[in-house]
Chain A
């Protein structure tokens, strides 16, 4: 892919000025190629690594994925083990987390960016939201344990888990919502306001629809991260073996990453393969969730800017 033409100085005959390649052109072009190659290398190494991980996981786990794998609960015997409880737990968690974090996060983002008066309090909140985005998930787990599980008495339920994951997702959703809104051209906003619209009408009919793709990207990112979290769930007391599917928000639960964690820590090779199979399912769940969001995003872009 690298095509260097450094021999151009060899032509001694005086040629057409457009064909003159004397001077530092060769050197400049070389630098350009080196830069392009570095970029290529960086991209390929990342994609290659991910491809290798996925392939490796697939080779280990694909044999275990069948109907029984989805309909059985976890078991002492690898052959009878399945992920029914964990899969349903994850879907429940994802649902409740989305239910809490998306509206609260998006509305907070709109308020902070569009409506709130700029001042010390605004800056104080902005800085703290940014800081919260960098807090490790374990810390959210500890907070959730103290606040939701103990203080509010939600016990080790789906609700405690989902609320904790919601808190963890909020900063990312708020920040990306703010960024998406800030990226809406001010000409659209000013145009709407100059038409005698209130701030709410402007936000609802123009700012929000224009910012929607950006907001959804942030939501996808935040929820994907939440679904893959293990650490806070361990602290919150998600169960590692569960022989029932949660029926409501106050039931005990387990989740796919919990199941993976439990199986990986077992000595038997078969359980490791089960963990690999579970990883494939988890990736599948993420893929489905992302596809839905991308679908909404494309639909919302029907009118091109």
Chain B
């Protein structure tokens, strides 16, 4: 196993106007691992995640200090185009958000606008296969993405992200709108995907973090309380606050 760092967060503070949502955090995210961000609502975990592909650029009053490096390059560097960042670091959202078009088009769109040279149909098939959706939809690629169930829609969104051939996949509570069966399918998928991609997942469910992730960071009110191997965080955390949170005393 190589322990290559893919994202390095150094002294990152995030501001929304006057409000500091994330306070001077340092994190290291390794390649081909699943990294979970946990913590109670409003702790800044989604805010931090959205900085990894510069989605916070669209929020008014957003300001960031410190640096987030992707393979050694600060993604907030002036020379870096956020569009390119988002191509390398894909994102799956909390609520499945397929485009209002066919299943095929949902996946083919991003490669096409990014100037993909190969065979698009082939790419659609491999992406859907990787997302574990091919068998279910291969006979109705022309029907609307909205005709799928919630769990299928979320896998479609994952397939769509895979199709742009990213390096890192960010997942912002990808199962919070799904039923338990769909959730377990997606969790299996995450374990499968980490063979090829580095995954950062924000989750509300501690069980989910324990099940899918290799490393976990616990955030509380914008501070990073503890970070380490998931097995350690959930068995013998160093901090009292972490222990209280994972044992369900608050949150």
* Contact A195/B164 with A118-B60, A205-B113 known, Cβ cut-off 8 Å: yes
Verify A190–B93 contact, CB threshold 8 A.
Answer: yes
A187 & B95 in contact (Cβ 8 Å cutoff) = yes
Shortest beta-carbon distance from B164 to chain A in Å? 6
A67 contacts partner chain B, Cβ-Cβ < 8 Å: no
A281 to B191, CA, bound (A): 68
Interface membership of B91, Cβ < 8 A: yes
- In the complex, what's the smallest C-beta–C-beta distance from B247 to chain A, in angstroms? 34
Hey, what's the 0/1 contact readout for B101-116 against A, CB within 8 Å counting as 1?
A: 1100000011001100
CA distance A304 to B99 in the complex (A): 11
Contact A187 B164 (CB under 8 A): no
In the bound complex, residues from chain B placing their C-beta under 8 Å from that of A305 are 100, 146
Report the Cα distance A303→B144, complex, angstroms. 7
**Contact between B146 and A194, CB atoms less than 8 A apart:** no
Query: What's the Cα separation between A201 and B99 when bound, in Å?
Result: 13
Are B97 and A196 in touch, CB under 8 angstroms?
A: no
A202's closest neighbor in chain B, by CB?
B113
Is B160's beta carbon under 8 Å from chain A? yes
| A198 close to B83 (CB less than 8 A) | yes
Q: Which of A205, A210, A305 has the most CB of B within 10 A?
A: A205
**Neighbour of B100 across the interface among A194, A197, A201, A210, CB < 8 A:** A210
Smallest CB separation, B35 vs chain A (Å) = 18
Is B87 on the interface with A (CB-CB < 8 A)? Answer: yes
Whether A153 is near chain B, meaning CB under 8 Å from some CB there, is: no
- A196-B84, A196-B164 known; A201-B113 Cβ under 8 A: yes
B161 at the interface (CB under 8 A from A): yes
Tell yes or no: B13 within 8 A of A by CB: no
Contact A197 B83 (CB under 8 A): yes
The answer to whether A188 and B99 touch across the interface, beta carbons within 8 angstroms, is yes
Q: Given A201-B113, A303-B144: A191 and B55 within 8 A (CB)?
A: no
Interface assignment of B132: CB less than 8 Å from any CB of chain A:
no
What does the 1/0 interface line of A286-305 toward B look like (CB < 8 Å)? 00000000000000000111
Q: Check: B86 CB closer than 8 A to any chain A CB.
A: yes
* Interchain CB contact under 8 A, B100 and A196: no
Q: Which residues of B contact A99 (CB under 8 A)?
A: none
CB distance from A223 to the nearest CB of B (A): 27
**Is B157 in the interface zone, CB < 8 Å from A?**
yes
Q: Decide yes or no: A190 and B83 within 8 Å by CB, A195-B90, A201-B113, A210-B100 being known contacts.
A: no
Interface: B58 (CB within 8 A): yes
A225 within 8 A of B: no
Do B55 and A303 touch (CB < 8 A)? Answer: no
CB under 8 Å from chain A, chain B span 54-83: 55, 58, 60, 83
Residue in B60, B95, B109 whose CB lies within 8 Å of A195: B109
Residue of B nearest to A189 (CB): B58
Q: In the complex, which of the residues A187, A197, A205, A303 contacts B93, with contact meaning CB atoms closer than 8 Å?
A: A187
- Check if A196 sits within 8 Å of B110, measured CB to CB: yes
Q: Which of B90, B95, B99 is packed against the most chain A CB atoms within 10 Å?
A: B99
Q: Does B53 contact A (CB under 8 A)?
A: yes
Mark contacts of A92-129 with chain B using CB atoms, 8 A cut-off: 1 yes-contact digit, 0 otherwise.
Answer: 00000000000000000000000000100000000000
**A113 to B: closest C-beta gap in Å:** 13
Query: Could you tell me if B146 and A304 are in contact, using CB atoms closer than 8 angstroms?
Result: yes
B contact residues around A206 at 8 Å (CB) = 99-100
Contacts of B161 in A (CB 8 A): 194-195
Q: Report chain B residues within 8 Å CB of A201.
A: 113
Chain B nearest Cβ from A215, distance in angstroms: 15
Chain A residue at minimum C-beta to C-beta distance from B166: A196
User: Which of A188, A193, A209 has most B Cβ within 10 Å?
Assistant: A193
Residues of B within 8 A of A209 (CB): 100
Q: Say yes or no: A187 contacts B97, CB within 8 Å.
A: yes
Known: A193-B58, A195-B86, A206-B99. 14 other contacts (CB 8 A): A187-B93, A191-B93, A194-B53, A194-B161, A195-B90, A195-B160, A195-B164, A196-B83, A196-B86, A196-B114, A197-B113, A205-B113, A304-B146, A305-B146
Could you list 12 A-B pairs, sorted by A, with CB under 8 Å?
A: A118-B60, A187-B93, A188-B100, A190-B55, A191-B97, A192-B99, A194-B93, A195-B109, A195-B110, A196-B83, A196-B87, A197-B113
Which residue numbers of A lie inside 8 Å of B, CB to CB?
118, 185, 187-188, 190-198, 201, 205-206, 209-210, 303-305
